[in-house]
Structure 1
């Protein structure tokens, strides 16, 4: 899979925020040169890669992805104001202590931090500005989710939410409740008009109590009379599989004779050879293509819903690796063309990075491993891209000054990525490693951590969507799980740059990274650093509360960074579900409310 990340929503030359139109007129998805689809692999008909333009989104601005939408609040630059009496966490030179030595800051009219310092000092120097007394609230730089599909996150809000469902029975119950609130879905099937699909997102069969880790089937859905006649497509938590009923398979003509795209799999019944209703990896495109018009129609509402949700969590920017304009190209040749496509939509976006998916997820047995799966001895996973293509894309992208993100979940995929990067290091000039990151890394080896550190490449982890320790044990076996635990510790020892993201739930990411269920050894301060300073792309003035940086920050009523040993009161139970009281992007309040004290 090849994607192109765009980063910005601020003019790269001037640093000014993108202008905010008063209405939705102007560029829209309908005016783009190609429709948005999400294909993993090369087009078998043309032999060409399908290149996707994904995004790094600064949330709360008018421009989201390649869309122009109504701004959330104020237009133009923000007014100058002073925030004082805050407990501030931000990188100021120490990686082990993020508690800032100042408790106040000034936001300038350009949407950047104008000054930082003590409350006494700044109140004296900027006495004439509007002031906000934080009253001891915690303030951190705006959080950056380094791996989120903004559109699909919004779709999961608009449609049936299956996240954290503990059984097939609970999934069915949630689907029925969704039907109860959306009568038009069943009505279309009964009236004979174009049939509407019932969509759902977030199921995870690895945590179900009634399946022992096995995939669900179309029969599970068809067992309920209200679910039998409505075409259903349910996407799992890490977007590596889709679960359908018989009506959906019939509507898309998927039979025992249908061939999946390379690297994908249509799960079939061992006895009959008929599709069971689950499609894994690139095979999902057989369903996604049928839903492309639906996804396109829902896209703006999905973005609005997702943006509102993540802003409430204190997230002010995301790197979206899947939202998209499609353009079929030979391997990476249209990177310059990607910028031309984006310019037609908005001058404040630019293609910044390619994203390459090397393998699939552990939950669907598609992560590429050095040895067989513990619970499937005949499988070592799937490879989604050849070594030759991977090397060619990287050399071409780096030669043009782009960043590159390599999605590799299994230990063999991680090794493969490092093999290619070591080869690239011999062929490419210096100053490229800060533009590379390995993403995913659900399973990796200690010796590969040393190689990662030697190269100076960053790791981008998605702990909230990874399997927990118990499920990893089932997939990998206890010996390999212990090896992964050692590799995590080695990563910390070698001071590898680690970024965090995935799922759009900031506190869920913090909890998953620090709960130590799968061997991670991160502290809350390390995760905060990995979602702020370390998460920002090279050259971006984001992720710090520092003079000259964009005034993106979140304010919380309680200090969730301080640990118990130092008087912290926010435990894991309180942490999960916590929201920001106020979220500010470019100096403008996008979530919550700040009332000036003068």
Structure 2
């Protein structure tokens, strides 16, 4: 424990701040809805105190203390004996694609495929399972995992599925393989050009590979899911995320119709997950929210917009200051003009919305940091975020602190990319990639996410990657660039209170303290104590939201 229970209890008795979460009575019989006791409760408060027990009433934490104190003071209709196991605040994923993940559960899962042949096999199996869908979709392939580390071509798909459009998205979402049927429906030819995108052409013929904005030309032709399919997608995603201890999700890139659906399901009690919604910067979304302002309930928070500045490193779309080490004279590209980024930044600031921008390459990070600085000025509490911040030139690192810009990172990106990122960046530039600890030091905190479905939804993978800087194979043995590893305490903060802070929600969630939402989980092994190689195997036994059990193993 960070602080002994004896010291913790003394703090409670002297200050009363935690224990007396409501008006005290001397009867010893104050009512509560739930008591959790006999646990190792990581409160993740400002002192990172641990406790044994807490009481819950009306969906919020009522009091925190020792088991004896809580049980002698409160009576509850439900008690949970934690049997000494670890209890954490409900985990928060600071950057994910929750709704898209739910929709994708009926698509072919191509994550971990070891060859294009295996991709084709999974696509064929998916078609057999869902023979009547208008499109064949899949996601998760990564040519860097294959023996032949080159983009595939559409030839095999054209032969097997000449009459059904296919789109198979790369793991990072910034490249896709489509067949000729899909190209025809989208009106794409070898001469198709656009800002921030690429239609790959070799020897005058399209290969079927589309990069970044080119993907939108095809995805725009996919029929919109029905209302029932959308609701089922949210429920399916929720079931899976509750099972791994996630109670809040920052969903990056939503439209008003999806947010309205979430709100409706929340109000009807059909959907429990708390969502921090980052809106797509479409004209429709801007027109509505600029007119009406942010929207907030206990389970939904709309006060930010998600902007894309560049592509991904794996597909060589990340915008770099110097050429890719493995592709001569190629720098990646921006997805819009510099002026467009300045314009949207000014608009968001004028209307009181947070700007959260995807930036991977060091050139994209420099541009957005400078634009943020121009708009925000120095020290502020606007909490504008750079999503990913994967490659940061040393000359730009201090701008995060200077302009109070939050780096929102995903530790499993480092451990997924480490096998090939050095090939893209070279020996010197790779040293400035995935610099989580250095980024954390700029403002004193850093929110952690997964970017699922780009990575796995399991937050214990995030924790392991942040602390050990190793992948599922516990490689490398000494960790990847361990100078930027996070401590266990800071990693847990990044998945709870710091993630909440990045969403302006630190006063209502992210720690087990009186007055905050009673969102918490109980696990079989304590990630603060187990060996690193055991972290990914931790199982959630219970997940509670608002003091109500939403998952039991």
How does the TM-score come out when normalised to structure 1?
A: 0.74
Q: How many residues align?
A: 480
Is 1:522 equivalent to 2:486 in the alignment? Answer: yes
Kindly report which structure 2 residues correspond to 1:165-176, keeping only aligned pairs within 5 A, or say none. 165-176=113-124
Q: Secondary structure at the match of 1:105?
A: strand
8 Å contact 1:331–1:389 — kept in the other structure? no
Tell me if the contact between 2:410 and 2:462 (Cα under 8 Å) persists in the aligned partners. Answer: yes
Alpha-carbon distance in structure 2 between the residues aligned to 1:405 and 1:546: 28
Residue in structure 1 matched with residue 109 of structure 2 by the alignment: 161
RMSD, aligned CA:
2.7
| Further displaced range: 199-208 or 124-133 | 124-133
Match of 1:491 among 432, 435, 439: 439
Instruction: Specify the alignment match of 2:38 in structure 1.
Output: 85
Alignment counterpart, residue 358 of structure 2, candidates 379, 382, 407: 407
Q: Distance in 1 between matches of 2:544 and 2:172?
A: 29
Q: In structure 2, do the counterparts of structure 1 residues 302 and 577 end up closer, same or farther at CA, with 3 Å as the change threshold?
A: farther
In structure 1, the partner of 2:542 is 582
How big is the shift at 1:496? 4.1
Which residue in the other structure is 2:71 paired with?
A: 123
Change (3 A) 1:128 1:162: closer
Match of 2:458 among 505, 514, 519: 505
Deviations 1:445-468 (A, max 9, x none): 223222212223221002334552
Matched, 1:262 2:173: no
SS at match of 1:444: coil
**2 CA distance for matches of 1:127 and 1:461?**
42
Specify whether residues 395 and 251 from structure 1 end up closer, same or farther in structure 2 by C-alpha distance, changes over 3 A only: closer
Q: 1:538: which partner in 2?
A: 504
- The 5 A counterparts of 1:151-550 are 151-185=99-133, 196-209=134-147, 211-212=148-149, 214-222=150-158, 225=160, 227-259=161-193, 261-269=194-202, 271=203, 273-294=204-225, 298-325=229-256, 329=283, 334-337=288-291, 339=293, 349=300, 351-426=302-377, 431-433=380-382, 435-466=383-414, 467-484=416-433, 487-494=435-442, 496-501=444-449, 502-503=451-452, 504-516=457-469, 518-519=480-481, 520-536=484-500, 537-540=503-506, 541-550=508-517
Q: Which has the higher contact order (CA 8 A, sep 6+)?
A: 1
2:168 aligns to what SS in structure 1? strand
Cα contact 1:332–1:396 (8 A) shared by 2: no
CA distance in 2, matches of 1:334, 1:128: 45
What is the Cα deviation at residue 436 of structure 1?
A: 1.2
Determine which of 112, 119, 133 is the counterpart of 2:60: 112
Q: Does 1:137 align with 2:85?
A: yes
Please say if residues 145 and 315 of structure 1, whose CA atoms lie closer than 8 Å, have aligned partners that are also in contact.
yes
Q: Which runs of 5+ in 2 are unaligned?
A: 1-30, 258-280, 471-479
Q: Which residue does the alignment assign to 2:270?
A: none
Q: Which piece of structure 1 moves more, 460-469 or 443-452?
A: 460-469
| CA distance 1:151–1:425, change in 2 (3 Å) | closer
Counterpart contact for 1:456–1:496, Cα < 8 Å: no
Structure-1 residue corresponding to 2:4: none
Q: 1:330 offset after TM fit, Å?
A: 9.4
Alpha carbons of structure 1 residues 361 and 312: separation in structure 2 relative to 1, 3 Å: same
SS at match of 1:499: coil
Tell me: CA distance 1:493–1:590, structure 2 relative to 1, closer, same or farther (3 Å): same
Residues 158, 302 of structure 1: 8 Å contact kept: no
Q: CA offsets per residue over residues 224-269 of structure 1, 9 Å max, x none?
A: x3x454321111222112211223223333222333x421111111
Q: What SS class does the counterpart of residue 293 from structure 1 fall into?
A: coil
Seen in structure 2, the aligned counterparts of structure 1 residues 242 and 325 have a Cα distance that, compared at 3 Å, is farther
What corresponds to 2:14 in structure 1? none
Shift of 1:590: 1.0
Superposition deviation, residue 332 in structure 1: 5.0
Q: In 1, distance between residues paired with 2:324 and 2:359? A: 16
338 and 220 in structure 1: CA distance in 2 versus 1, 3 angstrom threshold = farther
In structure 2, distance between residues paired with 1:129 and 1:123: 12
Kept in 2, the 8 Å contact 1:457–1:497? The answer is no
Instruction: Classify the secondary structure of the residue corresponding to 1:298.
Output: helix
Q: Within the alignment, does 1:552 sit opposite 2:519 as a pair?
A: yes
**Kept in 2: contact 1:237–1:465 (CA 8 A):** no
- TM-superposed CA distance for 1:483, in Å, is 3.3
Shift of 1:337: 3.5
Contact 1:357 1:408 (8 Å CA) reproduced: yes
8 Å contact kept, 1:313–1:505: yes
Contact 1:162 1:174 in 2 (8 A): yes
Query: For the structure 1 residues 463 and 216, does the alpha-carbon distance in structure 2 shift closer, same or farther, using more than 3 Å as the test?
Result: farther
Query: In the superposition, relative to structure 1, how do residues 492 and 538 fare at CA in structure 2: closer, same or farther (>3 Å)?
Result: closer
Unaligned ranges ≥5, structure 1: 1-77, 186-195, 563-567, 594-598
CA distance in 2, matches of 1:268, 1:352: 41
SS across alignment from 1:81: strand
Q: Where does 1:19-58 land on structure 2 (aligned, <5 Å)?
A: none
Contact residue 310 and residue 335 of structure 2 kept, 8 A = yes
Structure 1 residues 516 and 347: alpha-carbon distance in aligned structure 2, compared to 1, 3 A threshold: closer
Task: Give the 3-state SS of the residue equivalent to 1:490 in structure 2.
Answer: helix
Shift of 1:307: 1.2
How far off is 1:508 after superposition?
Answer: 2.4
Q: Note the alpha carbon deviations across 1:51-98, whole angstroms, 9 max, x for none.
A: xxxxxxxxxxxxxxxxxxxxxxxxxxx97110001112232224xxx4
* 8 Å CA contact retained: 1:398, 1:432: no
CA distance 1:353–1:419, change in 2 (3 Å): same
